Amino acid sequence: MPIACSRLKMTVSWRMNLLSLILTLLATLASTEDTKAGSGRWVHAGSNITLRYDGEESGRYRNLSVMKQGKLVRRMALGKRSYSLFEYDPDPTTSPDGRYVLVTDLESGEVGLTDGRGSLHERQYCGFIDTQSGCLFARQTGQFCGGQFNDAGAWVSSALPELILADGRPTAEDYVSGRLSPSDAPDGSLDNLLRCDPPGPGNRDHYEKLIDAGIFNVTPSQRRALYGG
């Protein structure tokens, strides 16, 4: 193998390994807070799953922490730019194997009327959190939220006959292709994508395109660490 080609492959491999490290670090930033401290509203969801809501605003919550067997799986903190707030559920729905828990948020905003006045509009969304990875996925609205798990662990509703949960996860390819776009919604962050589709040999090209295209905001220091200079 020519030396130049070998060096090029080593450089690409180094960059990909560093990319994986950087993205993994990004994924853990939102989970560093000690959720045992401070106030909040707690609820047990079965199968050793506990949800904690905090940052109350008019009876809803800006932050949601998910714990399993007493260990933090993920903390989601919605920024002030987000139109969503989490809604407390006194009896959360979990899958038969305890792998997934359904969480609800309400998105609100003002809609302009023909007479020039504004009217507050709210829409309820629900999605599943993987209690192993912290991935929030299949966030939908309407009749979908009124479904239930069947014995096989699929989500069944009048809006969708049967959802195999593993099929509802966002991927880096979804964002590169334009099928999905970043947003301030609970499932639209880079942190969430990294949990749902961890960087690896099968998706590294998509992650590189995603970062190069600026689809998600990456800090200058992270970009310099990846590309040098």
175 pLDDT band, cuts 50/70/90, is very high
pLDDT for 201-216, tens place per residue?
Answer: 888 899 889 888 999 8
200: DSSP letter: -
pLDDT for 65-119, tens place per residue?
Answer: 999 999 999 999 999 888 899 999 999 999 999 999 999 999 986 655 566 555 6
Share of the chain above pLDDT 90, in %: 51
Global confidence as pTM:
0.80
CA distance 157 to 217: 36
Contact (CB, 8 A) for 195 and 187: no
The yes-or-no verdict on residue 43 having pLDDT over 80 is yes
Mean pLDDT of all residues in 22-28 = 53
In this structure, the number of other CB atoms found within 10 A of the CB of residue 42 comes to 13
Rounded to whole angstroms, what are the CA distances from 90 to 42, 110, 173? 9, 28, 36
